[in-house]
């Protein structure tokens, strides 16, 4: 059974940093691209970043580019999101999501499994 | 970035009704369009991928169609458990984008 478990969320002041983790199990982690998707309270879904299974291909939404860094440790089956220079508008529930298709070097962009999310609140 | 425009933003329908949601892309995305269902307090669930392919285990009352810039999502006979918010998402560009969502409730 595929499981994705996010952690690392919390309350942080504007300008601060936070690192989110997503522990994966139930599938061959290194064979699948992974994404972070966020949802501000009461709002819609916003894709944040994607990393291919190999870690070679990485893309970011314009709203986080230069501030957030996605990475993965395939030996630990874990996905990360390092978030720096946090702003109030980054307040959201952050989900990790698995690509549906097994493609190691690139990402496909169809998310068949999602975690339950970890809440990030940026406030003074 | 590719913009996705969903309509309507909210919708009330009766059990048994046929429900249709549309999604328009700001440029040609070929067939690279997914539909997700999100119930309150839950993570999104993939229903349709590649515009018209039903994900395994999803009831056949859900369907999708379209290509290029115009897409449609249909529930053929609305059931009480279908109350949720539905999102389209494009993946033609590697900067994925979601529609703003359609909140569906029972009349």
Instruction: Encode pLDDT of B16-48 as tens digits.
Output: 999 999 999 999 999 999 999 999 999 999 999
Q: What is the pLDDT of residues A64-115, one digit of tens each?
A: 999 999 999 999 999 999 999 999 999 999 999 999 988 767 778 999 999 9
Residue of chain B with shortest Cα separation from A93: B43
What band does A121 get if pLDDT is binned at 50, 70 and 90?
very high
- pLDDT of B57 over the 90 cut: yes
Chain B contacts in chain A segment 58-77 (CB below 8 A): 59, 61-62
Nearest residue to A72 (alpha-carbon basis) of A57, A53, A99: A53
Selecting from A44, A107, A115 the residue whose C-beta is nearest the C-beta of B94 gives A107
- Identify the CA nearest to A38 among candidates B44, B107, B81: B44
Shortest distance between the Cα of A33 and any Cα of chain B, in A, equals: 12
Q: How far is A124 from chain B (nearest CA, A)?
A: 26
Counting one residue from chain A and one from chain B, the pairs whose CB atoms sit within 8 A come to 59
A117, B43: Cβ pair inside 8 Å? yes
Query: Given B44, B46, B55, which is nearest A45 (Cβ)?
Result: B44
Q: Searching chain A, which residue's CA lies closest to the CA of residue B88? A: A45
Task: Return the structure tokens found at B40.
Answer: 């309150």
Per-residue pLDDT at A60: 97
Q: Please report residues of B whose CB lies closer than 8 A to that of A110.
A: 34, 46, 49-50, 91
Q: Which token pair is A70?
A: 């996605």
Lowest mean pLDDT among A34-48, A86-100, A104-118, B48-62: A104-118
Mean pLDDT of B62-76: 98
pLDDT at B2: 95
Question: Quick check: A101 and B49 in contact, CB under 8 A?
Answer: no
DSSP state of A46: E
Sign of CA dihedral B7, B85, B32, A74: positive
Contacts of B16 (CB under 8 A, 6+ apart): B77, B78
Residue A6, pLDDT above cutoff 90: yes
Which two structure tokens, joined as six digits, stand for B94? 């590697």
pLDDT score of A55 = 93
């Amino acid at each position: 059974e595929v499981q994705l478990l996010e952690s690392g969320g919390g309350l942080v002041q504007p300008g601060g940093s936070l690192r989110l983790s997503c522990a994966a199990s139930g599938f061959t982690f290194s064979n699948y691209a992974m994404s972070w998707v966020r949802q501000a309270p009461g709002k819609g879904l916003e894709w944040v970043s994607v990393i291919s299974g190999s870690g070679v291909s990485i893309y970011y939404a314009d709203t986080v580019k230069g501030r957030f860094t996605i990475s993965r440790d395939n030996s630990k089956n874990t996905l990360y999101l390092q978030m720096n220079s946090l702003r109030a508008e980054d307040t959201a529930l952050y989900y990790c999501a698995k690509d549906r298709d097994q493609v190691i070097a690139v990402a496909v962009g169809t998310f068949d499994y999602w975690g339950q999310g970890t809440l990030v609140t940026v406030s003074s | 970035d590719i913009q996705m425009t969903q309509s309507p933003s909210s919708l009330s329908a009766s059990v048994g009704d046929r429900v249709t949601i549309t999604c328009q892309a700001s440029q040609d995305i070929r067939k690279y369009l997914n539909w997700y269902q999100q119930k309150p307090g839950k993570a999104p669930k993939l229903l349709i991928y590649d515009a018209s392919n039903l994900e395994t285990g999803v009831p056949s009352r859900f369907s999708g169609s379209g290509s290029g810039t115009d897409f449609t999502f249909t529930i053929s006979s609305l059931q009480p458990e279908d109350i949720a918010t539905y999102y389209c998402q494009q993946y033609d560009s590697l900067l994925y984008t979601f529609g703003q969502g359609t909140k569906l409730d029972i009349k």
